[in-house]
Structure 1
Amino acid sequence: MAKPNSKAPAKSVDVFCSKCGAKLYRYKKGGKGALVKCFKERITEDYTNDLGVCPDCDSVFGRDTLVRGTPAIKMVGGKVRMK
C-alpha cells in the first residue's frame, strides 16, 4: 500500500465531539468524504489531553492505529463531527 501524500492538503477542518461539542482537533483533510481516520502528521492543532479521549466529557472517540504504515487515529462512527 502507498503512504499518504507527504504534502498536506489545503483544506482545514475543525473536529468536534458529538456528545458535548468540545473542539478536539484542527485537521488538514483530503477528499470530501466522512472523517474515518486522522493521520497524526496532518493534525495542526490538538486540544485533547489523552489520545482519542474528549477533554470535556471523557468519551472515547478514537483509537491509536497504523494506516498504510503511518500513525493515525481511527475514529469511532458517530462520535465526532467536523465543520
Structure 2
Amino acid sequence: MAKPNKKGPTKTVDIFCKSCDTALFKYRKGGKGALVKCFKERIVDDFTTTPCYCPKCEKEFARDTLVRGTPAYKFIGGKVWFK
C-alpha cells in the first residue's frame, strides 16, 4: 500500500470533542468523506495534553495505531466532530 502524501491537502478542519465541544486538533483533511482517522504528520495544531484523551472531559476519543505504515489516530465512532 502507498503511504499518504506528506504535504497533504491545504484545506484544514477543526476537530472537536463530541461530549464537551473542546477543540482537539487543527488537521489537513483530504476529500469529503467521514472522519475516520487522523495521520499525525498532517496535524497542524494539537490542543490535547495526553494523546487520544480530551483535555477537558478526560474521555478517550481515539486509539493510537499504524495505518499503511504511518502513525495515526483512529477515531472511536461518535466521539468527535469537525467543521
Shorter-chain TM-score bucket reads over 0.9
Q: Percent identity?
A: 63
Give the C-alpha shift of residue 23 in structure 1. Answer: 0.2
Q: Distance in 1 between matches of 2:68 and 2:16?
A: 25
1:12 aligns with 2:12: yes
SS at match of 2:81: strand
Report the number of matched residues. Answer: 83
SS at match of 2:59: coil
1:63 aligns with 2:63: yes
Aligned to 1:2: 2
SS at match of 2:48: coil
Counterpart residue identity of residue 34, structure 1:
A
Q: Distance in 1 between matches of 2:34 and 2:49?
A: 24
Counterpart residue identity of residue 81, structure 2:
R
Give the C-alpha shift of residue 66 in structure 1. Answer: 0.2
Unaligned 5+ segments in structure 1 are none
Q: Distance in 1 between matches of 2:67 and 2:57?
A: 27
Counterpart residue identity of residue 76, structure 1:
I
Deviations 1:38-78 (A, max 9, x none): 00000000000011000000010001000000000000000
TM-score (norm 2): 0.98
Q: 5-14 vs 47-56, which deviates more? A: 5-14
Counterpart residue identity of residue 28, structure 2:
K
Aligned to 1:23: 23
Aligned to 2:40: 40
